[in-house]
Chains A and B, each alone.
Chain A
Amino acid sequence: MKNLKSKKNLTIFLTIGILFLILAPIVGEMTETILIDNEEDELVDQESQVSFHNVDTYNVSIKENQKITIKFSVYAQNVTASLKIFGKGLFDSEYNKNDTFGPLNVSGRYFLISRPTWSGDPSWYGYTETVVSCVQDDFYYIEFMGDGAPGNTIWNEPGEYVIFVYGSNSFNMSKEVIYNIEIYIDGPSDVIRSVFSSIGWVMLIVAGLVIINNSIKSIRSE
C-alpha cells in the first residue's frame, strides 16, 4: 500500500515536472507581447493636425526594460495619417497651450521603424523617426522604449507616454481620416519562463530524490 502511494507520488512529480518544462517556452512565447489596444478603421477629424484637442490619443506606461510595439496602417483613399509619441508632461502642456498646427510642428520622441527585407542584414533595415505618415496601403512596424537618437538606436526611459494620431484628407468633400492601429506591450514572458522551468526542475529533482529514497529502502529491506 505504502509502495503504491510512493509510486503514485513519483508519477505525479514526474508528470508535473515534465509538463512545466514543456509549458515554460510555450507560455513564455505566448506572453511575449500583450495587446493593449486594437482599433480598426478608427476615425479622426482632419482638424487634428491643427489642434491638440482633436487628436486621437493612446496613453501608455513604460516600465524598466519594457517596450511597446505599434502596428500602424492606412487603407483608405486620400488619407494621410501621422503618428507621434510625446512624454505625458509635454503632451499635457501642449494640450493646454493648444497652438495652431501644434500637432504638426512640435517634435516627438524617437521610435524605431523596422523594414524586414530578406535581401539584406537586419541592421540595414531598422531606422529611427520622430513621426511617421501613412498614406493609402502603408504599414509601419514601430518599437518604442522611451527615447532614441537619429540612426537606429532607441533606449529605455520608463515613464508615461502619449501616442497620438492626426491627419488630413485631400478629398474636398471629406474631413475624415481613417487609420488602423494595434499597440502591444512587452509581457511577463521572462518571469513566466523562469517560474515554469524552476517548478519543472524542482519537481524532477524531487522525483529523483524519491527514486533514490525508494532504492535505499528496498536495498535495506533485502
Chain B
Amino acid sequence: MAKKTTSKNETTKEVAEKNKKRDIWDKLIDMDRRKATKFIIGGMIIAIIFGTIALISDSLANNAYDWEYYKLHENDLGYWRGEYGYQEFLERDREIYAQADWLRFQEAIFENLARIGVNFGLIFVMVGFIGYSADEDMDPKKRQLSFLLAALVITVVMFSALSTGITISVG
C-alpha cells in the first residue's frame, strides 16, 4: 500500500497516524496463529450456543401438539373434579389453544434468530481458517487444507442463508 504524503492541510503527524492505522482486511490476513485459533474456538462456541437454541425451539414446536392434548385433558379433569366451573373451563381451553399456537409459531422467530447467530459464529470460524492459511510459517499442506475448510464453512453459511437449511441425518 502506497504511503500517503503530506498535503497542504495535513500535518506530518496526522499522516503518520493514518499510515499506522491498517484497514480490517490487512489485520485479518496478518493475524497470528494464536488469534486465528481464538477466532475458531469463539466462533464454534457461538455456533453451538445458537444451534442449541435452534434445537430447543424446534423440539418445543414439534411437541406442541402433545403438550396441547395433555393440557386439554388436564383441563377436563379440573372441571370434572369441580375445581372450577364451565366458563373457567372454556377460558382455560382457549388459553391452551393460544399457547400451543405460540409454541408452534415461536420456531419461526427463534430458529431464524438462531440461524443468524450460527452464521455469525461460522463466519468467525472461517476467518480463523483464513488466518491459518495466510500464516506463512505454517506447513503449505496445512495452509491449503485451512483454505479449503474456510471455503467449506462459507459454503455452509451461504447454503443455510439461501435455502431452508442443511440436514445431517445419523442412522
Contact = CB atoms under 8 A, between A and B. Distances in A.
Interface of A: 67, 69, 112, 114, 116-118, 121-123, 125-126, 141-143, 145, 152, 154
Interface stretch (B8-16, B25-33, B85-93): B85-93
Contacts of A123: 86
**Quick one: which of A114, A118, A125 has the most chain B CB within 10 A?**
A114
Smallest CB-CB A-B distances: 3 pairs: A126-B86, A114-B85, A143-B87
B45 to A, nearest CB: 11
Interface string B26-42: 00000000000000000
Contacts of A116: 79-82
B76 interface: yes
What's the dominant secondary structure at chain A's contact region? mixed
A114 B80 contact: no
Contacts of A154: 87
A127 B127 CA distance: 69
B82 A118 contact: no
How many B residues touch the partner, as a band?
10 to 19
A125 B85 contact: no
Contacts of B76: 121-122
A34 B89 CA distance: 18
Nearest to A117: B80
A125 B86 contact: yes
B67 to A, nearest CB: 15
Interface string B60-99: 0000000000000000100111101111110000000000
B156 to A, nearest CB: 26
B80 A126 contact: no
25 contacts: A67-B87, A67-B88, A69-B84, A112-B85, A112-B87, A114-B85, A114-B89, A116-B81, A116-B82, A117-B80, A118-B80, A121-B76, A122-B80, A122-B89, A123-B86, A125-B86, A126-B86, A126-B87, A126-B89, A141-B82, A141-B85, A142-B85, A143-B86, A143-B88, A145-B87
B79 A122 contact: yes
Contacts of A112: 85-87
A118 B80 CA distance: 6
Nearest to B79: A122
A89 B87 CA distance: 25
Given A114-B85, A123-B86, 7 more contacts: A69-B88, A114-B79, A121-B76, A122-B79, A122-B89, A126-B87, A154-B87
A126 B79 CA distance: 11
A122 B84 CA distance: 11
A117 B79 CA distance: 9
A143 B80 contact: no
Contacts of B89: 114, 122, 126
A152 B88 CA distance: 13
